[in-house]
Structure 1
Amino acid sequence: MRQVFYILIFLFAGGVHAQVKNYKNPLVDFNFPDPTVIKAEDGNYYAYATNTERKGEVINIQVLKSDNLVLWEELGDALPENPNWASSDFWAPHVVYNKKNRKYYLYYSGESNDKTIGKCLGIAISNSPEGPYIDKGEPLLCGDNFVNIDPMVYQDEKSGKNYLYWGSAHESIKMRELSRDLLNFKKGSEVKEIIHPVENSEIENYENLIEGVWLSKHKDFFYLYYSGDNCCGDEAHYAVMVARSKSPEGPFKKFKNPKGNSVILSRNKDWIAPGHNSLITDEEGTDWIMYHAIDPKDRSKGRVFLMDSINYKNGWPIIKSGSPSRKWLPAPQTN
């Protein structure tokens, strides 16, 4: 029986509210890499993505807005002014809310203007989830090549601690505790290497290079999602893996699927190189994985924005068929 896509629009003072019953990937059909999705204090959802160029305009950090996770409105550039330490390669943004000062903090990476070093991690702040975000004035961390990219902050409500996860360039995924104000590393804290790459040439190995961390808690476990190993281009070979722990500090145990690896989301005939995900929980408690992938029939669009639901089996997150969907499916419950 053919599924039908229903959209019921309610007009009310101050805007348009859309109640959506079904959805179909992609959510947006343009380049939107490394998507982070949050639910802001205003009740809306915001999605942030790596820099792009659209209609001749350079966008440092893309930002979209939705009230239902399906229909998205473009808001422009969340970081319209370059920081004083970088002018390009603004990658993999992540946004958190600071309840103490009611401000939003944008974590991202950028190419240092100092040509003797590589990528740096930066922090920018805004009064609004849509921006504009203003950089704090100096990078949090710099290093060689693209070691310091893909920042993700986890705020542990139970302990009150804040953790930064990051990493790439064939090195380990790293974690370090942040200060209470979210602007620096906690004094006396140390870097922990929590997931290590696995170097071999097997086609099913996506862990030669690992990056794109996302930490999420479900029941008794902290789940560490990560991606590898080549996100883009003609040789794109990318997938999502997962590990879990009883603590945000680890140790993390990797998932093992029937093929003996940690992959939970990989290519199919409709989509290739899915990965670099975030997670959002709808009003009924269902977790949704938000990620990018490439349409092999139209690579020119780049890495477009996709979404699929997560189920849990034997204490591990499972995505139906282990690959991205393309048919009409029930939408998240957001009202």
Structure 2
Amino acid sequence: MLPTAISSPIIHKRANGVHMGLNTDFPDPSFLKAADGKWYAFGTNGNGKRIQVASSSDFNTWTLLDIEALPTLSTWETDKDHYAPDVIQRDDGKYVMYYSGEAKSKIGHHCVGTAVAESPTGPYVPSNTPLSCRLDQGGSIDPSGFVDSDGTRYVVFKVDGNSVGNGGNCNNGVEPLVSTPIMLQKLQPDGVTPLGDTVQILDRGTADADGPLVEAPNLLLHQGTYFLFYSTHCYTDPAYDVRWATASNIAGPYEKTNVKLTKTGEDGLMSPGGATVCGCGDRMLFHGWCDSAKTKRCMYVANMSLIGKTAAII
């Protein structure tokens, strides 16, 4: 299908390497470099699509494609609220998408689903067995795939505890606050079948430190250190940001740095979060409100570096 007319504006790079990549609603962007040499980004439902897709030849200039990556639904999900997709390529060349879909059995709450395609743009065919639900704890959202140095596949995701909270900020600002843990699940080589028990690797801290939640996990290994990137606070809050924790073992313990990699006010950003960092450690996509009306979240591109246990936008 042909690209739509929506693409990135003329690029004026800011001093620290951040610029708007898509001036349209494209929340929770993830990305990969596909076998054809192009970069593909995947976003939460918007612009009339369940799962959005954008492409780039250089990671700087992006074009939103007129493609529905998930044209069919699984038996367990409704046709509403498809959040935070992430795509990996398997050893057999096929592409696996992890995404959050609303569960028919508990409306307003989500499971992590999987879908497989021959091409990075789809069509992705969903499995009728969700990877994780945990509906009694609020549901499962924000999946992100990871391949360790030995080739073992994992997925990290958030248990959506704030969806069963007691009200207030992101429904979890009123005591007692509910846990919103980040979980690590080992997978079989097919990238969709769980292997062994799920391990908790992070959780929200105090309300002062993390707000009502931690979410949007993204895991990578860089020079022997595991970096777990995540967002804190509510996505509508100016305090929403991207932070990271590190560990020497994939299962942790992970030590929070409590350093804000992105924050409101820098480079004109508003509530910047929901990030995905390249496994190479030199580039990142994230979203922020497009303007003060806060009706759309645009996609931003950042150049970055990882040195030791430190991450920085450059």
Whether TM-score is above 0.5 comes out as yes
Cα distance between partner residues in 2 of 1:217 and 1:59: 32
Cα distance between partner residues in 2 of 1:216 and 1:116: 33
| Aligned match of 2:294 | 299
Cα distance between partner residues in 2 of 1:230 and 1:220: 31
Pair 1:268 & 2:265 matched: yes
- Give the 3-state SS of the residue equivalent to 1:150 in structure 2: strand
Cα distance between partner residues in 2 of 1:242 and 1:277: 11
Deviation at 1:146, TM superposition (A): 4.3
Cα distance between partner residues in 1 of 2:293 and 2:108: 35
Q: Kindly provide the amino acid, as one letter, of the partner of residue 229 in structure 1.
A: H
| Aligned match of 2:126 | 135
- Give the 3-state SS of the residue equivalent to 2:299 in structure 1: strand
| Aligned match of 1:31 | 25
For 1:65, which of 47, 55, 58 is the aligned residue?
A: 55
Pair 1:193 & 2:228 matched: no
Q: Kindly provide the amino acid, as one letter, of the partner of residue 83 in structure 2.
A: W
| Aligned match of 2:183 | 174
8 Å contact 1:118–1:143 — kept in the other structure? Answer: no
Cα distance between partner residues in 1 of 2:20 and 2:142: 23
| Aligned match of 1:147 | 139
| Aligned match of 1:183 | 192
Q: Kindly provide the amino acid, as one letter, of the partner of residue 37 in structure 2.
A: G
Cα distance between partner residues in 1 of 2:118 and 2:306: 36
For 1:40, which of 34, 38, 46 is the aligned residue?
A: 34
Higher strand share: 1
For 1:210, which of 184, 203, 214 is the aligned residue?
A: 214
Cα distance between partner residues in 2 of 1:146 and 1:80: 26
Task: Give the structure with higher Rg (CA).
Answer: 1
Pair 1:311 & 2:311 matched: no
Cα distance between partner residues in 1 of 2:150 and 2:55: 31
8 Å contact 1:243–1:262 — kept in the other structure? Answer: no
Q: Kindly provide the amino acid, as one letter, of the partner of residue 302 in structure 2.
A: D
Cα distance between partner residues in 2 of 1:192 and 1:130: 31
For 1:287, which of 282, 285, 298 is the aligned residue?
A: 282
1:197/1:126 Cα in 2 relative to 1: closer, same or farther (>3 Å)?
A: same
Deviation at 1:199, TM superposition (A): 2.5
Deviation at 1:81, TM superposition (A): 1.8
1:116/1:292 Cα in 2 relative to 1: closer, same or farther (>3 Å)?
A: closer
Cα distance between partner residues in 2 of 1:239 and 1:136: 33
Q: Deviations over 1:48-106 (max 9, x none)?
A: 00011x3xxx310000111011222222211122222212111100100011x210000
| Aligned match of 1:230 | 234
8 Å contact 2:114–2:192 — kept in the other structure? Answer: yes
Pair 1:114 & 2:105 matched: yes
1:120/1:223 Cα in 2 relative to 1: closer, same or farther (>3 Å)?
A: same
Cα distance between partner residues in 1 of 2:273 and 2:146: 19
8 Å contact 1:206–1:239 — kept in the other structure? Answer: no
| Aligned match of 1:74 | 64
8 Å contact 1:176–1:192 — kept in the other structure? Answer: yes
Cα distance between partner residues in 2 of 1:273 and 1:96: 27
1:138/1:315 Cα in 2 relative to 1: closer, same or farther (>3 Å)?
A: closer
1:85/1:199 Cα in 2 relative to 1: closer, same or farther (>3 Å)?
A: same
Cα distance between partner residues in 1 of 2:151 and 2:281: 25
Alignment of 1:6-21 (within 5 A): none
Number of equivalences: 279
TM-score between the two structures when normalised by the length of structure 2:
0.82
Uncovered stretches (5+) of structure 2, i.e. residues with no partner? 1-9, 162-178
Q: Kindly provide the amino acid, as one letter, of the partner of residue 311 in structure 2.
A: P
Pair 1:241 & 2:243 matched: yes
1:184/1:314 Cα in 2 relative to 1: closer, same or farther (>3 Å)?
A: closer
8 Å contact 1:34–1:92 — kept in the other structure? Answer: yes
Q: Percent identity?
A: 27
8 Å contact 2:22–2:64 — kept in the other structure? Answer: no
Q: Kindly provide the amino acid, as one letter, of the partner of residue 133 in structure 1.
A: Y
Pair 1:159 & 2:150 matched: yes
Please report the RMSD computed on the Cα atoms of aligned residues, expressed in angstroms. Answer: 2.2
